[in-house]
């Protein structure tokens, strides 16, 4: 765990900025000029229908995929990314998995890279921004609770955490801000309360219903 030090970003300092991100797959425009900012110590939820572009956005922000337009400004401490389809082989140990991927990534000294990763982190390298693509989708309630304890520790240490989910209640429970994306467009950026109001939800009403109305009114 990173100790909070003089070097840690002050709370609420901008940690990441994406501006006008465009991504095309052939004819399909998966992202149509998406912009957002994440600040240090902040949790952002990204919600939106299947195929909205959430995974593509995270991949571009993580640097795993090139955008066709726009800019991403990343923090000096780097961006950590847990992909939606986490490619680990359960019959291999953590070290064997790391070694395999170090080779697949054609790192020059795979053994050294693996040792360094295991050493620094005990897995997570305390990046300034953590991107989690549907992190809780396959977790049972107890595992989910444990997961959020770990994530909130990262936030307390000053990381910005951005996660995608189809669980609107989870977004409301854990995120300071909710981003709604549909068909490659960022439709909303604000608090869960503001989103409920934008979807004509009554205070106390399930946010999910308000989100469905919000999307429908905008043609999704």
Ligand X SMILES: Nc1ncnc2c1ncn2[C@@H]1O[C@H](COP(=O)(O)OP(=O)(O)OP(=O)(O)O)[C@@H](O)[C@H]1O
The answer to whether residue 54 forms part of the interface with ligand X (CB under 6 A) is yes
Q: How far is the CB of 83 from ligand X (least distance, A)?
A: 11
Q: To 5 degrees, how large is the angle CA 206–CA 42–CA 125?
A: 120
Find all residues with CB under 8 Å of 106, minimum gap 6, and list them.
none
* The binder of ligand X chosen from 8, 15, 43, 52 (CB under 6 A): 52
Q: How far is the CB of 34 from ligand X (least distance, A)?
A: 11
Closest Cα to residue 77, out of 174, 157, 179?
A: 157
The answer to whether residue 198 forms part of the interface with ligand X (CB under 6 A) is no
Exposure on the CB side of residue 58, measured as CA atoms within 13 A: 27
The answer to whether residue 165 forms part of the interface with Mg ion (CB under 5 A) is no
Q: Number of residues interacting with Mg ion: please give it, by CB under 5 A.
A: 3
* The binder of Mg ion chosen from 55, 126, 136, 165 (CB under 5 A): 55
Instruction: Return d(Cα 84, Cα 59) in angstroms, integer.
Output: 10
Find all residues with CB under 8 Å of 9, minimum gap 6, and list them.
15, 40, 41, 75, 77, 128, 158
Q: How far is the CB of 36 from ligand X (least distance, A)?
A: 15
* Closer residue to ligand X (CB): 30 or 132: 30
Per-residue binding string, Mg ion, 69-88, x by CB under 5 A, is ---------------x----
What sections of 39-178 are H helices per DSSP?
54-62, 94-104, 110-121, 141-156, 168-174
Q: What residues from 166 to 195 belong to the interface with Mg ion (CB under 5 A)? A: none
Q: Is the dihedral of CA 198, 29, 33, 126 positive or negative?
A: positive
* The binder of ligand X chosen from 4, 12, 20, 51 (CB under 6 A): 51
* The binder of ligand X chosen from 9, 40, 55, 165 (CB under 6 A): 55
Find all residues with CB under 8 Å of 10, minimum gap 6, and list them.
40
The answer to whether residue 53 forms part of the interface with ligand X (CB under 6 A) is yes
Residue 135 interacts with which of ligand X, Mg ion, none, CB < 5 to 8 Å by class: none
Contact 46, 181 (CB under 8 A): yes
* The binder of ligand X chosen from 1, 11, 12, 25 (CB under 6 A): 25
Q: What is the binding site for ligand X (CB under 6 A)?
A: 25, 28, 30, 48, 50-56, 84
Provide the binding-site residues for Mg ion, judged by CB under 5 A: 54-55, 84
């Amino acid at each position: 765990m990173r100790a909070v030090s003089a070097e840690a970003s002050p709370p609420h300092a901008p940690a990441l900025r994406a501006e006008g991100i465009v991504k095309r797959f052939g004819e399909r425009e998966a992202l149509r000029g998406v912009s957002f900012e994440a600040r240090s110590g902040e949790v952002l939820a990204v919600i939106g229908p299947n195929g909205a572009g959430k995974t593509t956005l995270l991949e571009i922000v993580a640097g795993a995929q090139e955008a066709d337009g726009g800019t991403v400004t990343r923090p000096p401490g780097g961006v950590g990314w847990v992909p939606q389809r986490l490619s680990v082989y359960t019959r291999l140990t953590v070290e064997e998995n790391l070694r395999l991927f170090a080779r697949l990534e054609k790192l020059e000294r795979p053994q050294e890279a693996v040792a360094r990763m295991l050493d620094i982190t005990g897995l997570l390298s305390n990046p300034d921004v953590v991107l989690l693509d549907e992190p809780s989708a396959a977790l049972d309630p107890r595992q989910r609770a444990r997961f959020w304890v770990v994530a909130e520790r990262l936030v307390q240490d000053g990381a910005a955490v951005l996660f995608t989910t189809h669980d609107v209640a989870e977004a409301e429970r854990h995120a300071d801000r909710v981003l709604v994306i549909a068909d490659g467009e960022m439709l909303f950026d604000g608090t869960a309360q503001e989103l409920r109001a934008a979807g004509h939800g009554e205070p106390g009403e399930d946010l999910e219903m308000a989100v469905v109305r919000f999307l429908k009114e905008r043609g999704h």
